[in-house]
Amino acid sequence: MKQKVHFGYLLFLSFVAAWGGFLFGYDEAVISGTISEVSAQFNLNDGMKGWFVSSALLGAIIGVIFGGALGDNIGRKKTMILSAVLFTVSMIGCAISNSFIELVLYRIVGGMGIGLASIVCPLYISEISVPQHRGLLVSLYQLAVTIGVVAAYIINDQLLSLAQEGEALGNFFDKIFITEYWRGMLGMGVIPSMFFLIIVLCIPESPRWLITKGRVSRAENIFGRIYCSKEDVGAQIAATQEVSKPSGSEKSEIKMLFQPGIFKALIIGMAIAILGQFMGVNAVLYYGPEIFKGAGLASDDALFYQVIVGLANMITTILAMFIIDKIGRKKLIYYGVSGMIISLLLIAAYFIWGEALNISSYYLLVFFVLYIVCCAGSICAVVWVILSEMYPIKVRAVAMSIASFALWIGTFLIGQLTPWLLTNITPQGTFLLFAVCCVPYMLIMWKAVPETTGKSLEEIEKYWTKK
């Protein structure tokens, strides 16, 4: 039975938490416009390029290692605040760094903030949501990621144009925005991070987390602002208390991870998280301009093409948000991944025959857009929803931390390996490899992951714990 809720309030809470995804998307995409200039300034080889890109990903891995424990111990809200602080420090530091080592260290700090946000933001949204809206609301996180991506691409394009015009802004600002404009690209991230820090202070703690800590009356007040009836509030509190009964010790709760059903869910979550990265999406987002330039485009055209790719990503995510609770998580995966395979094969074909047949670069853009549309409408929209809803509440943050660790390991490896792959197995070989990696992802979703659309978190928990 659908519960009546104050949807506007739910939307507000979800929007605030989802803004952490904007920071993720901004950092994910802004780096693409800085690689050439940073490489030239610091004389980077392919390996060092990989480190520059993946340093933030290394930080994210550190963030997710501690993110689950922090989320469980100090709460979802305080962890989001810490995430915003770390990212703010990082963006300021990147803009004023005096050496490549210093730049890498500041990017690691920012990555730690992103890693924390990637766990706790979807988790918070999932825990304040109701079944009929959970897919839509958790998908706001991915939407924020895509908006951050587009914002970064636009800022990169505009700052490149400003730098090419060469109009004097003053000594300090000349260095930031003109002569070393990559500093401005990175430094502009301080604006959304400060905004995130301010708005997080305006939301309450997760009521489900409060119940696990015995603060039932506070949770009741928050649920009272979410649900329209006292009966629904009481039913939700009772359901959460049932699955969060103390088990006697923290160790016994961690042991839950090794119970057959929950351990299976953990392995599945890790598998879809890491495989999703080897299907190429972050290679496109990180190295898109470099790939386009490798196809013969000028720098400004390459950045413009990347803006179009980012817009396609954002628009498709919006569409996916409104259908994910209607057609289901698994169907989105089946349709989307099938389209990804086709588009990856088309991209590979372009790099094999495009130059010989004198095929316009516009076709490459079309294939990339098709790929992003299929990806954004499937794995990108679904992954955070599934990871945030499939684990028991007592170990939800820790389990999601482990799954997210796998995701960031995959992202780190892609960040490191993509320059090597493009050079050594060629662009066509790289995209063929991504297409092959789509197949096991599809099989896992088909055989091992239940459809969770329309089910409460407590119902999903019982599915895994009964095994």
Report pLDDT for 18: 94
In this prediction, residues 363-385 reach a mean pLDDT of 88
Region of poorest pLDDT, from 11-15, 343-347, 410-414: 410-414
Q: How many CB atoms lie within 10 A of CB 250?
A: 12
pLDDT digit string, tens, across residues 451-461: 888 888 878 88
The residue type at 238: A
Report pLDDT for 360: 84
pLDDT of 167 strictly over 80: no
Alpha-carbon distance of 180 to 175, in angstroms, equals 5
Report pLDDT for 173: 74
Specify which of 40-49, 229-238, 403-412 reaches the highest per-range mean pLDDT.
Answer: 229-238
Q: In whole angstroms, how far apart are CA 279 and each of 251, 264, 274, 424?
A: 36, 23, 9, 18
Mean pLDDT of the chain: 86
Confidence of residue 341 (pLDDT cuts 50, 70, 90): very high
Report pLDDT for 461: 82
Report pLDDT for 207: 93
Q: Identify the burial level of 334 via C-beta atoms within 10 angstroms of its C-beta, where 0-12 means exposed, 13-18 middle and 19 or more buried.
A: middle
Report pLDDT for 39: 87
User: Which of 320, 1, 25, 251 is closest to 152 using CA atoms?
Assistant: 25
Residue found under tokens 């340093």? 55
pLDDT digit string, tens, across residues 391-402: 877 777 788 888
The two structure tokens encoding residue 72: 């469980």
Domain layout of the chain by residue ranges: 7-203+246-465
User: Which of 126, 136, 119, 146 is closest to 23 using CA atoms?
Assistant: 146
% of the chain residues with pLDDT over 90: 33
pLDDT of 249 strictly over 50: no
In this prediction, residues 153-172 reach a mean pLDDT of 78
Report pLDDT for 467: 52
The residue type at 330: K
% of the chain residues with pLDDT over 70: 94
Alpha-carbon distance of 177 to 228, in angstroms, equals 51
Radius of gyration, CA atoms only, the chain: 22
SS3 419: helix
Region of poorest pLDDT, from 91-100, 278-287, 367-376, 436-445: 278-287
pLDDT of 169 strictly over 80: no
Q: Which long-range contacts (CB under 8 A, 24 or more apart) does 447-451 make?
A: 448/264, 448/268, 449/268, 449/272, 449/329, 449/330, 449/386, 451/328, 451/329, 451/330
For 95, half-sphere exposure in the C-beta direction (CA atoms, 13 angstrom radius) is: 20
Q: Identify the burial level of 78 via C-beta atoms within 10 angstroms of its C-beta, where 0-12 means exposed, 13-18 middle and 19 or more buried.
A: middle
pLDDT digit string, tens, across residues 64-85: 888 888 988 899 999 999 999 9
Alpha-carbon distance of 412 to 405, in angstroms, equals 10
Report pLDDT for 247: 53
Q: Identify the burial level of 299 via C-beta atoms within 10 angstroms of its C-beta, where 0-12 means exposed, 13-18 middle and 19 or more buried.
A: middle
User: Which of 178, 34, 73 is closest to 397 using CA atoms?
Assistant: 73
Region of poorest pLDDT, from 21-25, 55-59, 128-132, 248-252: 248-252
pLDDT of 376 strictly over 70: yes
Report pLDDT for 245: 66
pLDDT digit string, tens, across residues 194-241: 999 999 999 999 999 999 888 999 999 999 999 888 888 898 888 888
For 235, half-sphere exposure in the C-beta direction (CA atoms, 13 angstrom radius) is: 12
CATH 1.20.1250.20 fits 7-203+246-465, yes or no: yes
The two structure tokens encoding residue 406: 């796998």
pLDDT of 179 strictly over 70: yes
Region of poorest pLDDT, from 105-119, 139-153, 155-169, 267-281: 155-169
Report pLDDT for 344: 95
Region of poorest pLDDT, from 97-101, 199-203, 325-329: 325-329
Report pLDDT for 112: 95
